[in-house]
Amino acid sequence: MNNIVAIVGRPNVGKSTFFNRLIQRREAIVDSVSGVTRDRNYGKSEWNGKEFSVIDTGGYIKGSDDIFEGEIRRQVELAIDEADVIIFVVDVEEGITPMDEEVAKLLRKITKPILLAVNKVDNAMREKDAYEFYNLGLGEYYTIAGMSGSGTGELLDALADLLPEPEEKDENVEALPRFAVVGRPNAGKSSFINALIGEDRYIVTDIAGTTRDAIDTTYNRFGFEFNLVDTAGIRRKAKVKEDLEFYSVMRSVRAIEHSDICILMIDATRGFEGQDQSIFWLAEKNRKGVVILVNKWDLVEKDTMSTRDYEKKIREELQPFTDVPILFVSALTKQRLLKALETAVQVFENRKQRIATSKLNELMLPIIENYPPPALKGKYVKIKFCMQLPTPTPQFVFFCNLPQYVKEPYKRYIENKLRENFDFSGVPIDIYFRQK
């Protein structure tokens, strides 16, 4: 099970620098994603064999430094609700500020583990200045310098000790596929799930708690069987202002990481907004299959916008990963819900398909020969052989003499050719070039 670590603190204490340092350890491996990483506030990290997700709450605060304290308080309350461990970052240069005291006051009330990180401690003099932070009443602190990285090792050792040991997976158990229904508040996730399972008694079991908050329901109808991970019905209304973007992203992180396929519901009347994008890129970054359902299609004035125009607009926002099924549904009138399930099951099959090495070479080598990578500095790249790696998600390796000369556009060309010839709709693909 993946753990969530939230970094909290007032603006300008160096949360983002520390966050970047944490996720770089893995970023190079996990996120060899084409193009830019869209979302700088969420990443994966690993230390001493323990994997965890890191959320930088600071990145979600809009506006400048003089943000009113209420916004920061909301961020901290959310982190307290959603995270397993909280790292509270303060700044030795400025000492304890009233806002730090506010945050500490909130943190002292909770039982979750809190690590206090005193940042910008880059000399012995500042080590002494850090003593002041005992006054926050949070016990021991760790001195770090986010820029140079000194001290982060001890902090991460302490963090790793707080995280549970990774669970051993039983390879022999064929687990049911897990479909997570994700999306921003009010996109219709609950109605969709109720339409699927509400009226009938075919539900085999309700298993609470593979994650602390998402409920798994085994769905078994119309020849489909899978676990439905519901993130919809778990919002504590009183705590959350509906407009808080950070909230749905936090909630989605867990559901997405625990799923095979993400069914992303968007509200047709609102369009494909920034937050829908954040959730989409979260799923893509975690290499999950994705199906997009445009819900409430029955409410849209059809003369202003046809499905074709609407779909085209969404695909423009999804570039470069546009090979994703988009369906127009209505949870209310149950329009196309079965089609949505069929599509999700198909994406699950696409994600686990294996292509025989002989078939792959037979197809791809002539394509490469007709259109080889462009020469660089007078040197020609010769690709001799390719194969699919034995990984849970589709990854392909192409062996060649000068892998460093193969650039992003050519990788995309190869990916497009794979997609033209094999059905990987809805599934992110990784392509590597290696020296033979």
- Is 361 annotated in a binding site? The answer is no
3-state secondary structure of 85: strand
- Is 172 annotated in a binding site? The answer is no
- Is 15 annotated in a binding site? The answer is yes
- Is 119 annotated in a binding site? The answer is yes
- Is 59 annotated in a binding site? The answer is yes
Q: Are strands 42-47 and 85-91 parallel, antiparallel or unpaired?
A: unpaired
- Is 105 annotated in a binding site? The answer is no
> 189-197 and 337-352 helices cross at what angle (nearest 10)?
100
Query: Rounded to whole angstroms, how far apart are CA atoms 85 and 432?
Result: 35
- Is 223 annotated in a binding site? The answer is no
- Is 9 annotated in a binding site? The answer is yes
DSSP 330: B
Query: Rounded to whole angstroms, how far apart are CA atoms 350 and 153?
Result: 40
- Is 151 annotated in a binding site? The answer is no
Residue closest to 91 by CA, chosen among 2, 31, 14:
14
- Is 189 annotated in a binding site? The answer is yes
Query: Is the CB of residue 81 less than 8 Å from the CB of residue 236?
Result: yes
Q: Give the C-alpha distances (Å, rounded to integers) separating 218 from 223, 265, 346, 349, 358.
A: 13, 20, 18, 18, 38
- Is 56 annotated in a binding site? The answer is yes
- Is 47 annotated in a binding site? The answer is no
3-state secondary structure of 27: helix
- Is 260 annotated in a binding site? The answer is no
- Is 12 annotated in a binding site? The answer is yes
Using alpha carbons only, how large is the chain's radius of gyration in Å?
A: 24
Q: Give the C-alpha distances (Å, rounded to integers) separating 154 from 53, 55, 353.
A: 19, 20, 42
- Is 298 annotated in a binding site? The answer is yes
- Is 149 annotated in a binding site? The answer is no
Q: How many CB atoms lie within 10 A of CB 429?
A: 21
- Is 117 annotated in a binding site? The answer is no
Residue type at 349?
Answer: E
- Is 232 annotated in a binding site? The answer is yes
- Is 124 annotated in a binding site? The answer is no
- Is 60 annotated in a binding site? The answer is yes
3-state secondary structure of 325: coil
- Is 109 annotated in a binding site? The answer is no
To which H or E segment does residue 430 belong? strand 430-435
- Is 41 annotated in a binding site? The answer is no
Tokens coding 344: 């999700």
- Is 120 annotated in a binding site? The answer is yes
Binding residues: 9-16, 56-60, 119-122, 183-190, 230-234, 295-298
**Binding site as annotated, residues for GTP:** 9-16, 56-60, 119-122, 183-190, 230-234, 295-298
